[in-house]
Copies of this chain bind each other. A is one copy, B any other.
């Protein structure tokens, strides 16, 4: 085990990526979830996405949710947008950190947005310019970075090429999504190495799914490689890892629990976070796939 970073930055994605992949919940519950997360000590929250309500009814009330929430000092909030219309809505709502998505795999990108990866990258160049003109930052999320459910392995060199392209177009940050949980420690190592070789200073964030149980092993590997930014979803909101087709976000409290026991600071109050996970479970009305939510932290004695 190499030297571990003393501190990592967790971005809580439950309110957006999580709830977008659950049955719709009431606007008031979304606001309450967001505000509860803001009080956990987490530094970053993906709050909403500005997508077409017909495509994703779960996010149809994004404006109301954000208007009703009470942003906390010291917390950075971001929104995801699919296109310039969404970007304008995010900017109008006051967001200064905006995310856009492209799939590393052509087939996955076509199935999602009916365009090739290259076509989406051209669109993204325009979106980055639009966001920068308005004074916002642009993060590019590269989906299927660790494998594609249609194509299989995705060449890390292809992902690194996408990183080169979007950085040249002005992207402020890059996130790598393990969209269907195909990541393993080997894939993490290969991808981070391939990107770092060409872009040693690019800010990288990793987004793991626990679909095949590897999320924390992947995160540990990334930590050992010096990566310090990770997405996670409270309670594992966003689909059960044990159900077919589920997204299977790694649960924030499982990430925080492991990191804290290893002496890696997250700034997050784990007990408070577990209370929020209990609330998340309540609003989606099903048992969430989080061991730390069920069993409590290892420090909880019987």
| Chain A positions near chain B (C-beta within 8 angstroms) | 1-2, 147, 149-152, 180-182, 184-187, 189, 210-217, 219-221, 224-225, 241-244, 248, 250-251, 254, 257-258, 261-263, 287, 289-292, 294-295, 297-299, 301-302
Contacts and interface: CB of A to CB of B under 8 A. Distances in A.
Task: Kindly list the 8 A-B residue pairs having the minimum CB-CB distance in the complex, ordered from nearest.
Answer: A213-B254, A216-B217, A182-B298, A184-B261, A186-B262, A212-B291, A217-B217, A149-B302
Chain B CB within 10 A, most for which of A213, A262, A263: A213
A258 B298 CA distance: 25
Chain B CB within 10 A, most for which of A225, A261, A301: A261
A254 B210 CA distance: 11
A186 B263 contact: yes
Given A181-B291, A217-B258, A258-B217, A147 B298 contact: yes
A196 to B, nearest CB: 14
Contacts of A263: 186
A213 B215 contact: yes
A294 B258 CA distance: 25
B298 A150 contact: no
Contacts of A212: 254, 257-258, 291-292, 295, 297-298
Given A149-B301, A220-B217, A220-B220, A189 B254 contact: no
Contacts of A189: 1
A291 B152 contact: no
A150 B217 contact: no
